[in-house]
Structure 1
Amino acid sequence: MRLSSLAYSATICTFAGQIANAAITLDIEDPESIKQAAGRAAWDMMQYYTGNETGDVPGNLPDPYFWWECGAMFGSLINYWYYTGDTTYNANVEQGMLHQAGPEFDFMPINQSKTLGNDDQGFWGLAAMTAAETGFPDPPTGPGWLALAQAVYNTQVPRWDPSCGGGLRWQIFPFNTGFNYKNSISNGCYFALAARLALYTGNTTYADEAIKTWNWMWDINLIKHDTYWIVDGAHNTDNCTEMDGNTWTYNSGVFLLGAAAMYNHTNGSTIWRERVDGLIGAGKKFFINDVLHEGCEPAGTCNVDQRSFKAYYSRWLAATAKLVPYTHDNITREFKASAVAAASTCSGGSTGTACGLRWTEGPVHDGSVGVGEQMAVMEIIQSNLVDAAPAWKSEVLGTGTSKGDVNAGTGLTDGDHLTGVKRVTNADRVGAGILTALVLLGVIGGSTTMLLSD
């Protein structure tokens, strides 16, 4: 279905009745209304995307957005298709993700080296994993979504760093600011990807790596033992003793979904249930009267990245409700209240339907517009369709169809990526052999010609 702005009235339905001066209509109890509202939020979000325009680069968002956020946006659009069935943006997703996968199909394009962090690459890998889990159609040629996710995982395994007892650094290359910082989101993406690969494939190697990552986060106290709050990170220059104590929704969310995947993978083990419960309890700090908010919002200090964090928390909460059924009612109650509040802010921008950042201050648009704002509102609205969505696919269940490659991403080192070295394949070897033969024939032919001419 292609949605037109003419399909949206100037009111929004709430539990109590009507709120005036809002541009998106949402009846939270009506699945079709939810689809329409999510579609409008998606349409406004895609007005920022220029990668499908002639002369632009597929898979990139313009300034001020960093590369990783486009991968995160594609993850939201895969979810949008999964929940609504709307294929409007599927071609954009496929084109952009394959272009940014790079020549080695591991989401390490050389033009991103100056800012490429493990978390940046991780978000693209998680988007590919979501595509495999939801059954998003595999590309007609080349590696499947599962193989792309495995490639990200395989490139990150060797980066486990002994300083501070383990963990991934924030940045991949030593010349980037942040190389000496071990942040929770990089390790969270790695943890969640490993856990979800374990759930999808049944391969215990992935599960072992997820357990190792959780244990390191716990032992180093980036996950607080008494509250399950997850702080931002620490520098290895002081053995990770001084920490950035900021807590963000997406750190809590990425570890929650990884723990949910491990709970499901282990058939409901006590230890992973305890961790799921701890993280859900910790996440209550992010809600005011059941409405989701980010800690930087009251002071108006959220930067471009932070304005998108609620999108991922909403996404991963919904997946948790699916993977760990006993959490469902606790999670979905807050989804309804948050979605209604979020939609009530969608009356701004040049379209008159752009969504705001501070949902707790609705029904009013707060003047903040952008990709992150749109993505967050889209995710919280469409997450209310989680009950009708099909179960995640997997090889374990016999439902997974995405093409995988357990060795994907193992052909080059990080240094090779930096210098643009290309992995030598069997096809390359055959081609080189043919070229060598042709050169030799040319030399022999030339020599024969010279001999005959003499």
Structure 2
Amino acid sequence: MRISATVALYALANLRPASAIDLDITDQNSIKSTASIIAHGMMNYYSGNLTGQTPGLLPSPYYWWEAGAMFGSLIDYWYYTGDTTYNDVVTQAMLFQVGPEDNYMPPNQTKSLGNDDQSFWGLAAMSAAELKFPNPPAKSPQWLALAQGVFNSQAQVWDNSTCNGGLRWQKFTFNTGYNYKNSISNGCFFNMASRLGFYTKNESYFDWANSAWNWAEGVKLLSTNGSSIFVVDGTDDTENCTSLNPQKWSYNAGVYLLGASVMYNQTSGDTQALWKTRVEGLIAGASSYFFENKIMLETLCEPQGNCDTDQLSFKAYLSRWMAASIKLTDFVEPLVLPLLQASAQAAAKSCSGGTDGVTCGTKWTTGAFDGTYGVGQQMSALEVVQSLLIDNVRGPVSNVTGGTSAGDPSAGTNTGNSYGYFEGPITTGSRAGAGVITAMVIIGLVGGAWWMVV
């Protein structure tokens, strides 16, 4: 892959062979140089753009959803730095994986698809539309239409048969986790609904966003403790969502935070005041649970060193959505920027491993490379570092403030409940699944059934 001349100069000026990255959080050039180095390390894992490979797929052990999340981080990378190095690769991958209904349900993934898996690709498309990432060729699906396709296909399976609503984690009854209504699936739906409302000014999206928040609050996936709001992982619909998995993961807090920030931006009066309280509550909850001395950590697994492949990337999304919330509110920046700054400095210090001396680790709190490495570690470091440029970029656009992405309000509506993209049962080898509980079992305990991490 080529590196743009501008960013290459940044890299040459700041990179010392076999040493940690020297990040100056007050210097835009240093931030861009650091982001370039980390992005390059992340893309060393990707070969989908090479002859004979499949665009959009990462190698094992990375599931399909994380590739979509990774391309979302590269859209952010272009947005923050202006570097176009990876734009063609992103566009190729994002268009190759859209599926026959242009809603990110490709046949090679559909039989093991979770609503959250699909959402991470849809959210990347949403970012492309609102950040004015270069539009696809005219005959290809457009970014806004792809996000609408994902949203519409999920709105069709909003399930009122149990728990008074909510999305299931899995789309099909034969997949483990079908009875689990989890925060990340419903949070992504809320996040996307709010952002589609912002972009299109169609009130029906805001109606869905309100419904999704109210549902999550009603079943206590969103719980208030003092001035803080915490997001627990999910609930079992076989018990009418009366028992909760109390685990807390950083990306759940982040996905609701950005959606709530959009809703604050698009409301006024008492309603806006309510959303302000919710945004502040989510930040208070996240900052008290996912930070140690202002440095971000994945509290449930990172200290013990037992994060799975999915969980190693979760800090990327909290970083991404914290930063994005700054552009939509007039009060969030002083609450989150010090956390992002301290975390970015610590993340850069962790990027001191590998044969290149700039491979990123998991534990930012150690002040050094911890011996672990992978796509998730690179993506997390990339998102938190490049987020420091948030004050130097424009905010998201809409169709009345310069947005150019073409939409399709009916996209994704042909899938229905059956989806009908494959025949035959799921196999262990094809099992995908984003989310905190990649492998799940129901364990009977006194007082109810609980979903636990295996």
Same fold (TM over 0.5): yes
2:151/2:192 contact within 8 Å kept: yes
User: Match of 1:151?
Assistant: 149
2:296 to 276, 280, 292: 292
1:129/1:145 contact within 8 Å kept: yes
Residue 318 of structure 2 is aligned to residue 320 of structure 1:
no
User: Match of 2:387?
Assistant: 383
2:369 to 365, 381, 397: 365
Cα distance in structure 1, aligned partners of 2:42 and 2:59: 13
For residues 3-402 of structure 1, the aligned pairs below 5 Å read 8-10=14-16, 22-140=19-137, 141-162=139-160, 163-226=162-225, 227-267=228-268, 269-284=272-287, 285-295=289-299, 296-362=301-367, 364-397=368-401, 399-402=402-405
Moved over 6 A (4+): none
Q: Which one-letter code corresponds to 1:367 in the other structure?
A: G
1:404 to 403, 407, 410: 407
Q: Which one-letter code corresponds to 2:197 in the other structure?
A: A
Displacement of 1:291: 0.7
Q: SS at 1:229's partner residue?
A: strand
In the alignment, structure 2 segments of 5+ residues that lack a partner are 424-454
Q: Which one-letter code corresponds to 2:412 in the other structure?
A: G
Q: SS at 1:124's partner residue?
A: helix
Alignment TM-score, normalising by the size of structure 2: 0.88
Deviations 1:172-198 (A, max 9, x none): 111111111111000000000000001
Q: SS at 2:235's partner residue?
A: strand
Deviations 1:330-388 (A, max 9, x none): 211111111110000111123221101100011x1101100000000000000000001
Cα distance in structure 1, aligned partners of 2:92 and 2:34: 25
2:156/2:416 contact within 8 Å kept: no
1:60/1:70 contact within 8 Å kept: yes
Displacement of 1:326: 1.3
Identity %: 53
Cα distance in structure 1, aligned partners of 2:259 and 2:103: 21
Q: SS at 1:121's partner residue?
A: helix
Which has the larger Rg? 1
Displacement of 1:9: 3.3
Cα distance in structure 2, aligned partners of 1:9 and 1:101: 37
1:119/1:186 contact within 8 Å kept: yes
Displacement of 1:6: 5.2
User: Match of 2:430?
Assistant: none
Matched pairs, number: 409
CA RMSD of superposed structures (Å):
1.5
Q: Which one-letter code corresponds to 2:15 in the other structure?
A: S
Alignment TM-score, normalising by the size of structure 1: 0.88
Displacement of 1:225: 2.4
In the alignment, structure 1 segments of 5+ residues that lack a partner are 12-20, 421-454
